[in-house]
Every structure is written in C-alpha cells, then in structure tokens.
Amino acid sequence: MLNFAHLERYRENNRLEAKLAQGGLPESLWETYSAFANTEGGLILLGVEELPDHSLRPTALPEPEKLIGEFWNILNDVRFVSSNILSHGDVFVQEAGGERIVVIRVPRARQEERPIFIGQDPYSGTYRRSGEGDWRCTREEVDEMIAAAQAAAERRKK
C-alpha cells in the first residue's frame, strides 16, 4: 500500500492512477476501472493532481463521501458497468498531505469475470492497462477474454 504521507514520491504507472475529480467523478475513471480489472488491478486516487514533473499532489476534494456514494451508484448499474468486483473496503477516504482523497482499490478480476467493460458492448467498452495509460481492447483481445472466461467456468463445473 502507498505511504499517503509522502504521495509526492509516487508516479502514475500500470497499477496507480491519479484523477483530480474537482468537478465530480471523471468519465475516464470507468476506463481505468475496466483496465485495472482486466489486467493486474491497481489504485485509483481521486483528488490527486499529477504535476508537470509527474509527481502527485493531493488537492482539496469537496465532499469525498458524496463522490463515493455516486461511485457506488454507477458501479452497481449494469447498464453502465458490466460487473462490480469491489467490496466496500476497497473504497475509502484517506488523509494525504493535509487533504482528504478517495482511494479505490481495484482488484484483478477473476478469469471467469472478464472482460469487465463499460456500457453495453464489450467490444467498445473493454480496456486494458499498459504503462500509465488505459487502452481500448481489440476485438481479438475481447474474444480471448470471453473464451478464457467460458473455459474457466467449465472447469469450475467439474
């Protein structure tokens, strides 16, 4: 886990994403949720700014509890997100540098749960994480995830 007292020491990477979230939940949050779930998992920090030197700085986040409530409402809406793989302990308010930020710990989805996607179409809403970016999966990548999920489900039945 991160040492939140020294957030400036960290950089975005394949398991860490910072989002300013000053105007509410950023739309790109959902791409990152999908990407982390479909790759190795990771932490999304809301109320954290990435500075020009790529260091991270917490910012004043108005009403973090309200953001968390909105996050859960959207996450549990199957019209918007294919699956909620989080538990309540995965989303919390954390003190960092004198500010209150929201931490979302996204685990890697089990093989039979993938792909995790946004919207109604896995072919347009499935993402993967590479470096510090979220990339839309190709049709072939989505097909591979679906086939692997079906095979995992079959193995579980036996």
pLDDT confidence of residue 152: 87
Q: What is the DSSP string of 47-70?
A: TEEEPTTS-EEE---S-HHHHHHH
Please tell me whether residue 124 adopts helix, strand or coil conformation. Answer: helix
Q: What is the rounded average pLDDT of the residues 76-95? A: 96
Q: Which CATH fold topology does 4-157 show?
A: 3.30.950
Q: What is the rounded average pLDDT of the residues 128-142? A: 95
pLDDT confidence of residue 132: 86
Ordered by start, the domain boundaries in the chain are 4-157
Q: What is the rounded average pLDDT of the residues 43-66? A: 94
Q: DSSP class of residue 24? A: S
Tokens of 55: 């260091």
CB contact at 8 A, 133 and 34: no
Closest alpha carbon to 34 in 123, 101, 151: 123
**C-alpha atoms less than 13 angstroms from C-alpha of 141 in its C-beta half-sphere:** 18
For the chain, what percent of residues have pLDDT higher than 90?
86
